[in-house]
Amino acid sequence: MDAAQSTGTAGALESSLEGALDRHEEDDALALRAPVSAQDDVLITGVCGRMGKLLTRHLHRERGVIGIDRRPFPDRPKDVVHHQFDLRRKKTQEVLRSRRVRAVVHLGTMHDMRADPAQRHSWNVVALQKLTQYALRYGVKKLVVLSSANVYGPHPENPQFLSEEAPLLGAQNFSAIRDLMEVDMLAQNFLWKHPEVETVVLRPCHILGRVRNAPSKYLRLRNPVTVWGFDPMVQPIHERDVVSALQLALRPGVRGIYNLRGPGELPLSHVLRLLGRTARPLPAWLAKRALRSLWNSRLGSFPAPEMDHIRFPCMIDDTLARNELGFEPRYDMRATLQSVDSDR
């Protein structure tokens, strides 16, 4: 889809923005499920996060679900086992040793840019290293790791659509996410070194919904900052579509690295207009100074390097996910964008 087509799409979407979400919410009960044996358990790390809870609500209906998360899970389904401890502890090994865990879905990645870098590295990289060791030791047959298309990085010279073979340049101008790229590369190495474990790495574009991530927080602002002279194409995906992709990744025989693209792409200006936001355009130097000041004073949610996401494109190609994973987004652009304001 080129910019002219996207502009036409934006006009059509704008006229239909008003109103409640359509049939998609009702279709959640029909979300894709992986055919599995009732005797096999799936372990979900980060189970108390938004994505973990959504995935749990689908999976527990047909297989045993075990969750590890140091946060409480007061609204968990009664048949779900929740271990409230740090993933890096040896208790994780005990869980895998004592239960018939045949699949692990790793959602327990820390994205808090305010966290101590050493702690964040340990939480993300060391935890996954231990998890893969335990998976090999106790016969786990499937490992699914949720990464992000942000590992490619927004750059002015990016081609229109990036394949899974594109270089991972996300940390070039944003060193704080280097450990998130290490998580992706660790999962890649595990995929190639251990073919006996079906490893799947998912790289979704900007996830929108009730998730507490940077794209959703940015689009919830009534007057978001934009940069004069820049109007990048952006790709959003609904959080529930990502959950469907996670379920597809759990199917026997699926392995590989897959970009996850949502219903399409639009210029940032059209996205903001569709949501009824009033942008505050600033020169690049002033926008960076403002973001840095707000971040340092703890009045803002975005470190200054994230400004590149509202200047440069980072669009992905999802041919592999459609052809091999069988993934098709169910939520259209209107529903995907509106999900940032949803209270469900």
What residues form DSSP beta bridges with 104?
Answer: 43, 143
* 191 pLDDT more than 70: yes
Our separate counts of H helices and E strands in the chain read 12, 13
Q: What percent of the chain has pLDDT over 90?
A: 59
Q: What's the confidence (pLDDT) of residue 115? A: 65
Name the more confident of 144 and 39.
Answer: 144
**Domains in the chain: how many in total?**
1
- Is the dihedral angle over the CA atoms 82, 83, 88, 94 positive or is it negative? negative
| 193 lies in some domain | yes
Q: Each residue of 236-270: pLDDT tens digit?
A: 999 999 999 999 999 999 999 999 999 999 999 99
Q: Which amino acid belongs to residue 35? A: P
Instruction: Report which listed range, 33-47, 99-113, 274-288, is most confident.
Output: 274-288
Q: What's the confidence (pLDDT) of residue 292? A: 79
| 279 lies in some domain | no
What does the alpha-carbon distance between residue 141 and residue 57 come to, in Å, rounded to a whole number?
Answer: 22
| 50 lies in some domain | yes
Query: C-alpha angle with apex 49: 212 to 260, nearest 5 degrees?
Result: 70
What residues form DSSP beta bridges with 65?
Answer: 42
Could you write out the DSSP letters of every residue in 231-251?
Answer: --EE-EEEHHHHHHHHHHHTS
Question: Which residue's structure tokens are 């109103």?
Answer: 19
**Could you tell me the residue range of the domain that residue 71 belongs to?**
20-211+237-269+316-339
What does the alpha-carbon distance between residue 67 and residue 75 come to, in Å, rounded to a whole number?
Answer: 13
Q: Share the mean pLDDT of the chain.
A: 84
Q: What are phi and psi of 276, to 5 degrees?
A: 75, 25
* 204 pLDDT more than 90: yes
Binning pLDDT at 50, 70 and 90, where does residue 299 land? low
Helical H runs in 107-164?
Answer: 117-121, 127-137
Record the pTM: 0.86
- Domain holding 251: CATH number? 3.40.50.720
For the segment 27-55, the average pLDDT, to the nearest whole number, is 69
167's tokens: 């270089």
150's tokens: 């942000």
Q: What's the confidence (pLDDT) of residue 344? A: 52
The region of weakest confidence among 13-27, 38-52, 66-80, 313-327 is 13-27
| 305 lies in some domain | no
| 274 lies in some domain | no
Question: Which residue's structure tokens are 């910019």?
Answer: 3
Q: What's the confidence (pLDDT) of residue 112? A: 67
Pairing of strands 233-234, 266-267: antiparallel
Q: Which helix (H) or strand (E) holds 49?
A: none
Question: Which residue's structure tokens are 């990464």?
Answer: 147
Q: Each residue of 317-340: pLDDT tens digit?
A: 999 999 999 999 999 999 999 999
| 217 lies in some domain | no
For the segment 199-209, the average pLDDT, to the nearest whole number, is 96
| 172 lies in some domain | yes
Q: What's the confidence (pLDDT) of residue 179? A: 82
Closest alpha carbon to 80 in 113, 118, 42: 42
What does the alpha-carbon distance between residue 270 and residue 274 come to, in Å, rounded to a whole number?
Answer: 6
Q: Each residue of 7-30: pLDDT tens digit?
A: 444 444 444 443 333 344 334 333
What does the alpha-carbon distance between residue 194 and residue 134 come to, in Å, rounded to a whole number?
Answer: 13
What is the number of other CB atoms lying within 10 angstroms of the CB of residue 322? 16
Q: What's the confidence (pLDDT) of residue 175? A: 61
What does the alpha-carbon distance between residue 142 and residue 249 come to, in Å, rounded to a whole number?
Answer: 9
96 touches 90 (CB < 8 A): no
| 220 lies in some domain | no
Binning pLDDT at 50, 70 and 90, where does residue 113 land? low
Query: C-alpha angle with apex 164: 336 to 197, nearest 5 degrees?
Result: 100
Burial class (CB in 10 A: 0-12, 13-18, 19+), 86: middle
Question: Can you give the three-state secondary structure of 257-278, one letter per residue?
Answer: EEEECCCCCEEHHHHHHHCCCC
316's tokens: 């992905």
201 touches 332 (CB < 8 A): no
For the segment 169-184, the average pLDDT, to the nearest whole number, is 78
Binning pLDDT at 50, 70 and 90, where does residue 106 land? very high
Q: Each residue of 128-142: pLDDT tens digit?
A: 999 999 999 999 999
The region of weakest confidence among 50-64, 76-90, 175-189, 263-277 is 175-189
Q: What's the confidence (pLDDT) of residue 32? A: 35
